A and B are shown apart, each in its own frame.
Chain A
Amino acid sequence: MKTIKVGLGTCGVSAGGEKTYEAIKHEIEKENIQVILKETGCNGMCYREPLVEVIDEENHSFLYGDVTPEKATRIMIDHVMKNMPVKEWIVQNSGPTEDDAFFQKQRRIVLRNCGIIDPNSIDEYIAVGGYEAIRTVIKKNTPEQVIDIMTKSGLRGRGGGGFLTGVKWKFCRQAEGTLKYIICNADEGDPGAFMDRSTLESDPHSVLEGMMIGAYAIGAEEGYIYCRAEYPKAVARLKHSIREALAKGFLGKNIFGSNVNFSIKIKEGAGAFVCGEETALIASIEGKRGMPRFRPPFPANKGLWDKPTNINNVETFANIPWIIMNGAEAFAAMGTENSKGTKVFALAGKIARGGLAEVPMGITINEIVYDIGGGIKGGKKFKAVQMGGPSGGCIPASMGDLQIDYQQINKTGAIMGSGGMVVLDETTCMVEMAKFFLSFTQEESCGKCTFCRIGTKRMLEILERITDGNGREGDVELLQHLAYQIRNNTICGLGQTAPNPVLTTLKYFPEEYEAHIRDKKCPAHSCAPLLTFSIQADACKGCTLCAKACPVEAISGEKKKVHEINVATCIKCGKCFETCKFNAVLKN
């Protein structure tokens, strides 16, 4: 019998996957076809969603991309019923396709089961070796040995800080007290990062198993998953998975027949970026305002309800079962001197193939952007990649040969962060980008430290006046001065890193700031107040569309005659530019 799998992660659903699923189901019922229809998560090829995989009787897989309900119906008839695969829609697994490049340089550990197993079925996870790691560990290893394996593997926390997981566990293990907690940080607040959501939706049990191993190592009997409210599907899957694990006796009292107890609770976030910071997250679980506090004491000694607490990120936990099963050496064999293993990157922005790619550390930016991501959308020029979200920075295309690991990225002034990679092209204004991030951090600042609360506001004001065409001489120096003050006078990572987007764009794109301030020009033609709109006489066909679209009647001209824009009335909204079908409107 054939098996059909439909990718129904949030990305699949938002691309219309549910309608595709319904179409397939409808066809199965109508034609009474004997197949197994399943749901799966996301395999990372978000740019091809909705994805449908057909696995035939000989276990051959055919992966179809961009499957609309109409296409699904044809796949059901031609391939599933008549055994004639629809070659032109296949994106992977049967003969070479242009999409193969997306996977060639990947090495999948965290995403090992994503898009392959049914995330709603614990049995499928078990069938691919799931829960073997925790079973082995409880039977064969002491907690100290587990910590030793983690330390040897060189795994560093994937939530942003990049702290060695084994060392962190050791601190918590050694902390005084018998009551300890383990927390999974699923707050994923960095705009542009979505690997945690995808992992939770596509392979929730791997995260639960990683938490169990961590709990055993540090000696915790209670765990929390702090998941952001914007991820309803991930929360639902986690709740379902926890119930399944309880029913199997993998959670609860005496797990796997041992004397170890462990339970997991879910806490939903309430919409505050700063709650991703560990001490703020703890305050939030305790039911308070999510304000970070000064460290030390570190959570390892004084965390949730003042008890020793270990916090790790979703991706960190998902690595752990693999490391146990394959050994610390296998993990440490990948990557660079100081950054071992793989990292999942979320590719988005102006990239042709947006999605999730897991690659060994040490790969270059160019390899990710061009080989995996297929370069820039629409043939535009690659300008920079934004890494690390609001705490990170923009790395220019000229540094594309940079090998990605924690140290190398830090040297650029950006940070690895959670692995969001927003690719920017020549149409993105770097000053506007810096302003965008500053407005984000300014809004999300919890207000505790003066420099973060007011300093970011002042920086934002300066950036606003620069992009409005009112920049002054000395603004750049003022920005730099404020940036260093904010960095040095705040207690948590939010404030300390908030100036990074400004500092990196100043470092790599000083000429763009200059152009805005001195020449009152935006080289990327993106900052509206600095633009002048005009109509190119020889391209204008006199279709009148622009005149109709203009909200302030600034465009005049008769039908079939060249139109003109009255610069004095024009509010630079860009509607004419968007409407013109003949590219006759110029932005300068």
Chain B
Amino acid sequence: MLQKEEIRKENTGSQFYDFKTELWKYQGEKGALIPLLQSAQEAYGYIPESAIDHISEVVEIPGAEIYGVITFYSQFRLKPMGKNIIKICDGTACHVNASTGILRALVDELQIGNDETTEDGLFTLQKVACLGCCSLSPVMMINDDTFGRLTPKKVKELLKEFRTKENA
């Protein structure tokens, strides 16, 4: 079975391995900007200014243009994010199956709003549209794991589980 760890390895192994190595490997291939930004984000959890400068130097694209690309895509962050990213789905199927209640439970529990990070840096909350798991709506993802058929109660339990794991 392709286990979670393997999926991580599969996805981080070659492409993102290490941001610096990626930069160093760059041979002028076309269209490398977005993968490089993805690898910077993978390495740092966000895209620090220094990374923009590095990339700009190597791929010879002005920093301003890179900034334009970063702000276009919702995946890229210019601020550090929490250790765990919670993506709560508010796509059509989840929406009609009361995802607003799930979001409310998350906000209550974490005391943060959309696109914010908890004070202890453990969680960042992001509202997204559709995680492709609509038949099990409402759905959320914590990092690369998807959780379906949520209820406010289940959400609270899940967060508790995560917190205990973090504190252990």
Contacts and interface: CB of A to CB of B under 8 A. Distances in A.
A286 B136 contact: no
A422 to B, nearest CB: 5
A236 B7 contact: yes
Contact of B146 (A10, A229, A289): A10
B42 to A, nearest CB: 11
B135 A188 contact: no
Interface in A284-303: 284-290
Nearest to B59: A287
A48 to B, nearest CB: 10
A349 interface: yes
Interface string B25-50: 00000111111011000000000000
A91 B36 CA distance: 47
Given A232-B144, A386-B92, A289 B72 contact: yes
Given A232-B7, A422-B96, A287 B34 contact: yes
A451 interface: no
A420 B92 contact: yes
B73 A268 contact: no
Interface stretch (A13-21, A157-165, A319-327, A398-406): A13-21
A15 B132 contact: no
A424 B96 contact: yes
B54 interface: no
Interface stretch (A144-152, A270-278, A480-488, A562-570): A270-278
Contacts of B155: none
A38 to B, nearest CB: 8
Given A232-B7, A270-B34, A290-B72, A422 B133 contact: no
A578 B100 CA distance: 13
A189 B68 CA distance: 22
B115 interface: no
Interface stretch (A68-76, A78-86, A190-198): A190-198
A515 to B, nearest CB: 19
A11 B93 contact: no
B38 A11 contact: no
Secondary structure class of chain B's binding surface, majority of residues: mixed
Given A271-B73, A284-B34, A289-B68, A230 B91 contact: no
B132 A197 contact: yes
A286 B92 contact: no
Nearest to B97: A349
A361 interface: no
Interface string B132-165: 1111110101001111110000000000000000
Contacts of A232: 7, 11, 144
B135 A346 contact: yes
B58 interface: no
B119 interface: no
A312 B4 CA distance: 30
Contacts of B73: 270-272, 290
Contacts, number: 164
Contacts of B35: 267-268
B107 interface: no
Nearest to B6: A236
B17 interface: no
A305 interface: yes
B76 A270 contact: yes
B80 interface: no
B64 interface: no
A348 B135 contact: yes
A82 B14 CA distance: 46
Interface residues of A, number: 67
Contacts of B121: none
A136 B33 CA distance: 39
A267 B37 CA distance: 13
B78 interface: no
Given A21-B1, A190-B130, A422 B92 contact: yes
Interface in A433-462: 433, 436-437, 440, 446
Given A14-B133, A229-B75, A424-B96, A578 B147 contact: no
B92 A389 contact: yes
A555 B73 CA distance: 45
Interface string A239-268: 110000000000000000000000000011
A235 B141 CA distance: 16
Nearest to B16: A268
Given A120-B2, A240-B10, A422-B92, A286 B30 contact: yes
A232 B7 CA distance: 7
A403 to B, nearest CB: 24
Nearest to B74: A271
A437 B15 CA distance: 35
Contacts of A433: 96
Given A11-B148, A232-B11, A270-B73, A350 B131 contact: no
Contacts of A14: 133, 136, 139, 145-148
Contact of A287 (B14, B31, B135): B31
A107 interface: no
A520 B4 CA distance: 50
A440 B7 contact: no
Interface in B62-96: 68-69, 72-76, 87, 91-96
Contacts of A13: 145-146
A347 interface: yes
Contacts of B30: 286-287, 305
A15 B146 CA distance: 9
B145 to A, nearest CB: 8
A465 B35 CA distance: 42
A65 interface: no
A228 B73 CA distance: 12
Contacts of A428: 96
Contacts of B139: 14
B92 A230 contact: no
Given A287-B34, A436-B92, A440-B129, A192 B11 contact: no
B135 A236 contact: no
A268 B136 contact: no
Interface of B: 1-2, 4, 6-7, 10-11, 14-15, 30-35, 37-38, 68-69, 72-76, 87, 91-97, 101, 128-137, 139, 141, 144-149
Closest 7 CB pairs of A and B: A191-B91, A46-B135, A354-B135, A191-B130, A287-B33, A270-B73, A348-B93
Given A49-B136, A189-B130, 13 more contacts: A14-B139, A189-B129, A191-B91, A197-B132, A232-B11, A232-B144, A240-B10, A268-B15, A270-B37, A289-B69, A386-B92, A436-B95, A437-B92
21 contacts: A8-B2, A10-B132, A21-B1, A46-B136, A49-B136, A120-B2, A191-B91, A191-B92, A191-B129, A192-B91, A194-B134, A236-B10, A270-B34, A270-B74, A271-B74, A290-B72, A348-B134, A348-B137, A354-B134, A422-B96, A428-B96
